[in-house]
Structure 1
């Protein structure tokens, strides 16, 4: 399923880029993230607890940031496993600065397997879009809090 969208934040491209690469910001922005541990540069493990319908459960996740072209774009890969199945995502995140705002655009694919896959595609697509929108909404909130200081 495809997940695509954009959010606008009143901040410079550099401030947005810094936040998108900050483990603490990523932890706060990832829905249900209890623990985010950097295992090596741009590679993380996470414990995530989701309470959303068909994807409800505890997940062990791996998150990687690849193909960095700072401060313009990178690719984000996530793999999360639970007793209910797995969720995998791969998205390109791009920044476009138009003073005084930066647009964050994301375009990616998500796949599910296991018991989770038994849920209808439309329902899963809606849940995936909701989770991704929530992530980027929280990113904007964190950036706004940082730049207000």
Structure 2
């Protein structure tokens, strides 16, 4: 599965960078996120459930940041597992670009793979759900970050 996205965040680049590295901000933005626990400056765990057709799998994901070029870009890798969800792995290259009027353009290119019952049942549904989750995340992220800007 491959995805790309471009989103305008209504906050200055440094504020967006700080928020992207704050598990509590991410918890507010990740749809149906139950927990976000920081382990180190570059690792945290997110636990969330999502709706995939008529199934609501729960996923615990270890998220790691690397290739950090603050406040411009990083690579986010995630590995999640859950009883129904099976195993999910992904990588996202995230870049921030300052825009006029204290706004930030956030661009990402992500790739991922799922193994397990859900992946076998509905790969097209997984891709569609992943895109909707990304759109929902960035809409909520913008709301959280711009409210504090």
TM-score in same-fold range (> 0.5):
yes
- 2:128 is paired with a residue whose SS is helix
Instruction: Identify which of 103, 106, 120 aligns with 2:105.
Output: 103
**Alpha-carbon RMSD:** 1.5
Q: Distance in 2 between matches of 1:73 and 1:55?
A: 34
Match of 2:59 in 1: 59
Deviation (angstroms), 1:48: 1.3
Structure 2: stretches of 5+ with no match in the other structure: none
* TM-score, length-scaled by structure 1: 0.91
Q: Which residue of 2 aligns with 1:39?
A: 39
1:16 aligns to what SS in structure 2? helix
1:129 and 2:131 correspond: yes
Contact 1:28/1:138 (CA < 8 Å) preserved in 2?
Answer: yes
Query: Which 5+ residue runs of structure 1 have no aligned equivalent?
Result: none
TM normalised by structure 2 equals: 0.91
Aligned to 2:118: 116
Cα distance in 1 for partners of 2:125, 2:57 equals 17
SS of 1:17 mapped into structure 2:
helix
Shift of the alpha carbon at 1:53? 2.0
Worse-superposed segment, 132-141 or 107-116: 132-141
CA distance in 2, matches of 1:80, 1:97: 32
Q: Does 1:87 align with 2:88?
A: yes
Distance in structure 1 (CA, Å) of the matches to 2:126 and 2:82:
16
For residues 65-100 of structure 1, what are the alpha-carbon distances to aligned partners after superposition, in whole Å with 9 as ceiling and x for unaligned? 211101110111111111121221110110111222
Q: 2:140 aligns with which of 122, 126, 138?
A: 138
1:33, distance to aligned residue in structure 2 (A): 1.1
